[in-house]
Structure 1
Amino acid sequence: MTDLSRAQLAHYVDHTLLKPEATRAQVEALLNEATELGAYAICVSPKMLPVEGDHGSVKIATVCGFPSGKHKSEIKAAEATRAVDDGAHEVDMVIDIGALKEGDVAAVEADIRAVREAIPHSLLKVIIESAALTDDEIVAACRAAESAGADFVKTSTGFHPSGGASVEAVRLMAQTVGDRLGVKASGGIRTYDDAVAMIEAGATRLGLSGTADVLDGCPS
């Protein structure tokens, strides 16, 4: 297993708070903790933007069409635009999983492209909800994201009953997009060993809510 220092692992992390009951005080604490831990970014709900306080080098990420993906493309695009206007550097959008299940990959690609065109200068991650997909559907979703101009593909919202990230899904996603897109593993990563396994499978970013606990598992 790869050995990563606490600082090295922290730089993979989007320190995440997407619970519906989250408060602004908790978001402020999230930013402070991310700064202290050395996380790459925080990820919060769009209603919590703009995030007050000194961001320093910590990026601000948010979500779009979350968590179901069952929003019209123009609504997702408007939501993403507003989020960027409110200070988000990165947007994690959810695809229409049902359209993918129906085999309408063109609709999935068009949905992603609508958001991409709305925020051309911001980093776009595409959440495919990999635990709810077959391998062929994972590949199709990744190819649609790449074709539409996304920067990352992401495993999960963390809210789907099918589960979160798996090593197998991350590996397949990484094999599909190569080094052309990033891969974000998110959902159910609770230990240092979990995190390293995702990185070894090809993840280039991690979505964690229990970041401190994961980092505390780093070898001393």
Structure 2
Amino acid sequence: MDRKTIFEKVDHTLLTQTATWEEIRQICDDAIAYKTASVCIPPAYVQRAREYVKDRMAVCTVIGFPNGYSTTAVKIFETEDAIRNGADEIDMVINIGDVKDGNFEKVESEIQAIKAVCGSRILKVIIETCLLTEEEKIRMCQVVSRAGANFIKTSTGFSTAGATFEDVKLFAEHVGENVRIKAAGGVASFDDAEKFIELGASRLGTSRIVKLAKNEAASGY
């Protein structure tokens, strides 16, 4: 698989608590240079990043991040604010406690409400696979598919583990035809990226792929 194909599926990501504007600006520059799918950044930087990249790059941000237990009203407000500030794509975290309670109707209703705010913009639903049983993951594939979201996403990258090949394979077997898959956290190499894509992922949430390419370029590889 050529590198261009991989870069086109990368959401070039920086979501650390210590992220500075200079670091955000740099990943925007790198995303544009490598033609990634988007930059995925904290909500506080969305407006500034939009003004900086203009129409050269899609801007993605996160909602209810990373724990997912904000109320639906708060998540809706966050989404509306992000869109006003120029976000093209929204990655929301589900309320994992609702999943553990078996309250899948509430989870589905929340996703539907946020998708209604997003309209034609892309909505990705983070289910935090490392905290769920296999049965819960399968149920969430069904919930996300019914709710009308564009993507199901494995992980925040802030919990106990990130994406696994097994989870992406499981998603591919259980999501609806209109739902795509995003693997996030743990995409550590071009080989990883290629395998995740082959298993069914069409987006990769990672900062490492571009960093690897930059390091190779700097070393004259």
Aligned to 1:71: 70
Unaligned runs of 5+ in 2: none
Q: 1:105 to 1:57 in 2, by over 3 A?
A: same
Unaligned runs of 5+ in 1: none
- CA distance in 2 between counterparts of 1:72 and 1:14 reads 26
Aligned to 1:14: 11
Secondary structure of the equivalent of 2:62?
strand
- Amino acid in the other structure paired with 1:62: T
Aligned to 1:198: 196
- Amino acid in the other structure paired with 1:40: A
Secondary structure of the equivalent of 1:53?
helix
Aligned to 1:118: 117
- CA distance in 2 between counterparts of 1:76 and 1:114 reads 9
Q: Is the 8 A contact 2:37 2:58 kept in 1?
A: yes
User: TM-score by structure 1 length?
Assistant: 0.93
Structure showing the higher helix proportion among its residues: 2
- Amino acid in the other structure paired with 2:116: E
Q: Is the 8 A contact 2:145 2:176 kept in 1?
A: no
- CA distance in 1 between counterparts of 2:4 and 2:181 reads 20
Q: Of 25, 28, 35, which aligns to 1:28?
A: 25
Q: Of 40, 44, 47, which aligns to 2:44?
A: 47
**% identical aligned pairs:** 37
- CA distance in 2 between counterparts of 1:101 and 1:212 reads 36
Q: Which moved more, 1:93-102 or 1:177-186?
A: 177-186
Q: Is the 8 A contact 1:110 1:148 kept in 2?
A: yes
Q: Is the 8 A contact 1:69 1:95 kept in 2?
A: yes
CA-to-partner distance for each residue in 1:27-47, whole Å, 9 max, x for gaps? 111100111112110000101
| Number of residue pairs matched by the alignment | 214
Deviation at 1:56, TM superposition (A): 4.3
Q: Is the 8 A contact 1:35 1:56 kept in 2?
A: no
Q: Of 186, 207, 210, which aligns to 1:209?
A: 207
CA-to-partner distance for each residue in 1:32-65, whole Å, 9 max, x for gaps? 0111112110000101111132344421100000
Q: Is the 8 A contact 1:128 1:141 kept in 2?
A: yes
Deviation at 1:80, TM superposition (A): 0.6
